[in-house]
């Protein structure tokens, strides 16, 4: 487990002081993908750089697996850093080295023999899907491939933790998705803890288990990703959720739906992320003699299953409609709200 | 004209002079590379935000570099006579020129090294630190290899400056083509010899330029 206690970083220059990370306390569980989201300047990068002491904390403590990182001397810190992988927005590869040599670099630092290095590098190249590009130079790779090299390099010494600072922010959406898939894959395969910094909510949505929202160096909100999506409390958080889910403007469309589809009931189904609900609509259609008509909605996938809202028109015998709604309420975790009752 | 030129030429003397110029240039270049890289690294590492950030050492090294770059080379040789005599046991001949050549060129190259190192992406240094690299590893496996093309082209510029210095040193007895042109050519009113020496020097300069550009581009994988 990673335990961060009252962590603080103050930057002082001649004319002003900036508290980039302000009294931050946080626990991160083993094996989870923990997201930190915030706007530019919120202190995210400073926070993640404090974790391996690329930035020296002004005060506070960082404990990773019972090891007090903040108390280590230079030599001990170097050893500890070999167990903390890090990947960067701009990849930070050595352009003078090939893919293979880049991945071998942390192994050289750890003093691994040449034969063992070669073996490990090949494993890593297979793991991140770069077979065939071993001898290419970074300048010959696409952004996504460069980040794969970055990931392989970060994993070389079998770290317990992987720190990702805006690892997908320089990539196009498609490449972003493939890199995020790779991170989930690694997280599952190797069971390592991933701490991921981003300003993009869809990244959090796609791969994180828990999320913390940062503003002015503080964590203003944290919790399960789904919970935060479902009930954002702070206005920053609401804005981030809107990035993915759109705004509540859709509600204005409801009156339009009500006036346009005159028959039967109109209900709002709220999916809160359980895979078992995926076949809900077809189950309803099979079990009850009702007509279902999907009117509008937005569903998105999170690590725990689908999340979002659907507006559905239900028509049929009044009793059948009631039974169907009771079924949704009692047998599934989908929240149902009747927007308009049948006459 | 060409035949008369070649007739008056003592080929053996010209070859010896050419050899001496090469000898001084190459040995001085090696010394300059070592000391200049050292100075450049010191300047870079002790600079603000550097790994060994240290105002005092940075100031001392920078002053040394600036002072020795400010002294005109011909005066530097004279100034260094006692030191050269102590170090080499002579102030004449190619060996007598070496200390002045190195002390004259190393600060110049040191500045070029500093500039080259500053061009290395800070993020890459940081990545190495995040892997737990020692400073030594960062210097020899990151900073120097990553700046190698710039170090090479800097070395080319320095080599050409050095060829010029050897000619100046030659005028006060160091040997080489400069010496040959001055004593055997100019002082004996043999301007054809001066011309031939110039041609040979230009060829040497082009040779170094070509070689330097070639190596530099081979090293550049960006
Ligand atoms: N080395 C530094 N010196 C001074 N101020 C800094 C330094 N690094 C970051 N800051 C300041 O700290 C704040 C947080 O920066 P950062 O952690 O990079 O935010 P984020 O990654 O969320 O965009 C900003 O106001 C930034 O200007
Ligand atoms: Mg940042």
What ipTM, to 2 d.p.?
A: 0.88
Give the nearest partner residue to B146 out of A86, A96, A153, using CB atoms: A96
- Across chain B, mean pLDDT equals 93
Asked if residues A149 and A103 have their Cβ atoms less than 8 Å apart, the reply is: yes
DSSP structure class, residue A326: H
Q: Is the predicted pLDDT of residue B1 greater than 60, yes or no?
A: no
DSSP structure class, residue A196: E
CATH of the domain at A324: 3.30.70.260
Q: Is the CB of A42 under 6 A from ligand 1?
A: yes
Q: Is the predicted pLDDT of residue A249 greater than 80, yes or no?
A: no
What distance in Å separates the CA atoms of residue B54 and residue A28, rounded to the nearest whole number? 38
Lowest pLDDT segment from A113-122, A140-149, B7-16? B7-16
Burial A164-191 (b: 16+ CB within 10 A, else e): bbbbbebbeeebbbebbebbeebbeebe
Q: What is the pLDDT of residue A4?
A: 97
Asked if residues B54 and B195 have their Cβ atoms less than 8 Å apart, the reply is: no
Give the nearest partner residue to B132 out of A79, A93, A139, using CB atoms: A79
Looking at the fold, whether A239 and A324 belong to one and the same domain comes out as no
Looking at the fold, whether A239 and A254 belong to one and the same domain comes out as no
Chain A CA closest to residue B123? A92
- Reduce the secondary structure of chain B to three states and give it as a string: CHHHHHHCCCHHHHHHHHHHHHHHHHHHHHHHHHHHHHHHHHHHHHCCCCCCCCHHHHHHHHHHHHHHHHCCHHHHHHHCHHHHHHHHCCCCHHHHHHHHHHHHHHHHHHHHHHHHHHCCCHHHHHHHHHCCCCHHHHHHHHHHHHCHHHHHHHHHHHHHHHHHHHHHHHHHHHCHHHHHHHHHHHHHCCHHHHHHHHHHHHHHHHHHHHHHHHHHHHHCCC
Edge-to-edge strands, sheet with A17-28: A17-28, A2-12, A59-64, A67-68
What distance in Å separates the CA atoms of residue B176 and residue B167, rounded to the nearest whole number? 7
Question: What average pLDDT does the segment B55-77 reach?
Answer: 94
pLDDT of A321-335, one tens digit each?
Answer: 889 888 888 888 888
Q: Is the CB of A38 under 6 A from ligand 1?
A: yes
Contacts of A129 (CB under 8 A, 6+ apart): A148, A182
Q: What is the pLDDT of residue B5?
A: 60
- Across chain A, mean pLDDT equals 91
Residues of B in Cβ contact (< 8 Å) with A79: 132
Q: Give A343's pLDDT tier (boundaries 50, 70, 90).
A: low
Looking at the fold, whether A222 and A299 belong to one and the same domain comes out as no
A contact set with B (CB within 8 A): 52, 54, 77-82, 84, 86, 88, 90, 92-97, 105-106, 108-110, 137-139, 153, 157
Q: For ligand 1, pick from A13, A18, A54, A218 the residue to mutate: most ligand atoms within 8 Å of CB.
A: A18
Looking at the fold, whether A258 and A239 belong to one and the same domain comes out as no
Portion 34-73 of B in contact with A at CB < 8 A: none
Higher pLDDT, A224 or A300: A224
Domain residues for the domain of A297 are: 248-340
Q: What ligand 1 atom has the least distance to the C-alpha of A197?
A: 21
Q: C-alpha distances in angstroms, B147 versus A225, B72, B113?
A: 44, 29, 9
Looking at the fold, whether A206 and A304 belong to one and the same domain comes out as no
Q: Is the CB of A198 under 6 A from ligand 1?
A: no
Q: What is the DSSP string of A291-323?
A: EEEEEEEEEEEETTEEEEEEEEEEEE-HHHHHH
Q: Is the predicted pLDDT of residue A59 greater than 80, yes or no?
A: yes
Q: Considering only CA atoms, which residue is closest to atom 8 of ligand 1?
A: A46
Question: In this prediction, what percent of chain A has a pLDDT beyond 90?
Answer: 66
- Bridge partner residues of A2 (DSSP): A28, A64
Question: B134 and A78: CB-CB below 8 Å?
Answer: yes
CATH of the domain at A171: 3.40.50.300
Contacts of A316 (CB under 8 A, 6+ apart): A264, A288, A289, A290, A291
Looking at the fold, whether A199 and A255 belong to one and the same domain comes out as no
Question: B123 and A88: CB-CB below 8 Å?
Answer: yes
Q: Is the predicted pLDDT of residue A28 greater than 70, yes or no?
A: yes
Looking at the fold, whether A199 and A163 belong to one and the same domain comes out as yes
pLDDT of B173-209, one tens digit each?
Answer: 888 999 999 988 888 898 899 999 999 999 999 999 9
Residues of B in Cβ contact (< 8 Å) with A52: 130
Higher pLDDT, A333 or B166: B166
Query: How near does any CA of chain A get to the CA of B85, in Å?
Result: 43
- Bridge partner residues of A301 (DSSP): A306
- Which domains, from first to last, does chain B contain? 2-219 (1.10.3720.10)
Q: Is the CB of A14 under 6 A from ligand 1?
A: no
Q: Give A242's pLDDT tier (boundaries 50, 70, 90).
A: confident
| Interface contacts A/B by beta carbons within 8 Å | 65
**What is the CA(A169)–ligand 2 centre distance, in A?**
10
**What is the CA(A207)–ligand 2 centre distance, in A?**
19
Chain A CA closest to residue B142? A94
Looking at the fold, whether A130 and A213 belong to one and the same domain comes out as yes
Q: Look at phi and psi of residue B16 and say left if phi exceeds 0, alpha if psi is from -120 to 50, else beta.
A: alpha
Lowest pLDDT segment from A178-192, B74-88, B155-169? B74-88
State the pTM of this model.
0.85
Q: Is the CB of A89 under 6 A from ligand 1?
A: no
Q: Is the predicted pLDDT of residue A107 greater than 60, yes or no?
A: yes
Looking at the fold, whether A229 and A258 belong to one and the same domain comes out as no
- Which of A229, A244, A259 finishes a domain? A244
Contacts of B151 (CB under 8 A, 6+ apart): B37, B112, B113, B116, B144
Looking at the fold, whether A113 and A133 belong to one and the same domain comes out as yes
Residue with tokens 């040599």: A101
Looking at the fold, whether A125 and A37 belong to one and the same domain comes out as yes
Looking at the fold, whether A202 and A147 belong to one and the same domain comes out as yes
Number of domains chain A is built from: 2
Q: Is the CB of A40 under 6 A from ligand 1?
A: yes
Question: B130 and A86: CB-CB below 8 Å?
Answer: yes
Question: What average pLDDT does the segment B162-183 reach?
Answer: 90
Portion 102-141 of B in contact with A at CB < 8 A: 121, 123-124, 126-134, 137, 141
- Which of A244, A261, A290 finishes a domain? A244
Residues of A in Cβ contact (< 8 Å) with B124: 92-94
């Amino acid at each position: 487990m990673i335990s961060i206690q009252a962590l603080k970083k103050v930057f002082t220059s001649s004319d002003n002081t900036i508290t980039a990370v302000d009294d931050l306390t946080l626990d991160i569980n083993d094996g989870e993908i923990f997201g930190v989201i915030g706007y530019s300047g919120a202190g995210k990068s400073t926070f993640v750089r404090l974790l391996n002491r690329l930035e020296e904390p002004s005060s506070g403590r960082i404990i990773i697996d019972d090891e007090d990182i903040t108390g280590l001397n230079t030599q001990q810190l170097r050893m500890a850093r070999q167990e903390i992988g890090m990947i960067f927005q701009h990849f930070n590869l050595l352009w003078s080295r090939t893919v293979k040599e880049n991945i071998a670099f942390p192994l050289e630092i750890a003093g691994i023999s040449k034969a063992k290095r070669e073996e490990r590098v090949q494993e890593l190249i297979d793991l991140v899907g770069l077979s065939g590009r071993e001898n290419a130079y970074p300048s010959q790779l696409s952004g996504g491939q460069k980040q794969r090299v970055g990931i392989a390099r970060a994993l070389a010494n079998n770290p317990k933790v992987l720190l990702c600072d805006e690892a997908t922010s320089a990539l196009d959406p498609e490449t972003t998705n493939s890199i995020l898939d790779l991170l989930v894959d690694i997280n599952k395969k190797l069971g390592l803890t991933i701490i991921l910094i981003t300003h993009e909510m869809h990244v959090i949505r796609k791969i994180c288990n828990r999320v913390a929202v940062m503003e002015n160096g503080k964590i203003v909100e944290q919790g399960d990703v789904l919970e935060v999506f479902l009930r954002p409390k702070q206005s920053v958080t609401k804005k981030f959720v809107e990035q993915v889910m759109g705004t509540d403007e859709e509600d204005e469309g409801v009156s339009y739906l009500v006036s346009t589809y005159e028959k039967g009931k109109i209900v709002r189904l709220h999916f809160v992320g359980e895979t078992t609900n995926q076949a809900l609509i077809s189950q309803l259609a099979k079990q009850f003699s009702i007509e279902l008509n999907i009117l509008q909605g937005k569903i998105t996938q999170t690590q725990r299953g689908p999340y979002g809202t659907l507006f559905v028109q239900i028509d049929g015998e009044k009793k059948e409609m009631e039974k169907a709604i009771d079924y949704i309420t009692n047998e599934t975790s989908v929240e149902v709200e009747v927007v308009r009752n049948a006459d | 004209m060409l035949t008369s030129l070649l007739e008056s030429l003592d080929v053996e003397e010209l070859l010896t002079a050419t050899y001496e110029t090469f000898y001084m240039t190459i040995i001085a270049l090696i010394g300059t590379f070592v000391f200049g890289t050292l100075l450049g690294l010191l300047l870079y590492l002790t600079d603000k935000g550097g790994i060994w950030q240290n105002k005092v050492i940075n100031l001392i090294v920078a002053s040394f570099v600036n002072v020795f770059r400010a002294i005109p080379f011909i005066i530097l040789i004279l100034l260094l006579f006692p030191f050269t005599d102590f170090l080499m046991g002579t102030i004449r001949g190619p060996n007598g020129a070496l200390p002045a050549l190195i002390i004259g060129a190393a600060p110049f190259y040191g500045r070029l090294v500093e500039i080259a190192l500053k061009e290395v992406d800070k993020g890459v240094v940081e990545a190495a630190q995040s892997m737990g690299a020692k400073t030594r590893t960062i210097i020899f496996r990151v900073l120097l290899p990553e700046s190698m093309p710039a170090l090479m082209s800097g070395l080319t510029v320095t080599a050409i400056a050095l060829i010029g210095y050897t000619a100046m040193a030659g005028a006060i007895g160091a040997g080489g083509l400069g010496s040959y042109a001055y004593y055997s050519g100019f002082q004996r009113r043999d301007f054809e010899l001066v011309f031939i020496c110039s041609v040979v020097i230009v060829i040497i300069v082009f040779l170094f330029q070509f070689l330097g550009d070639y190596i530099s581009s081979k090293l550049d994988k960006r």
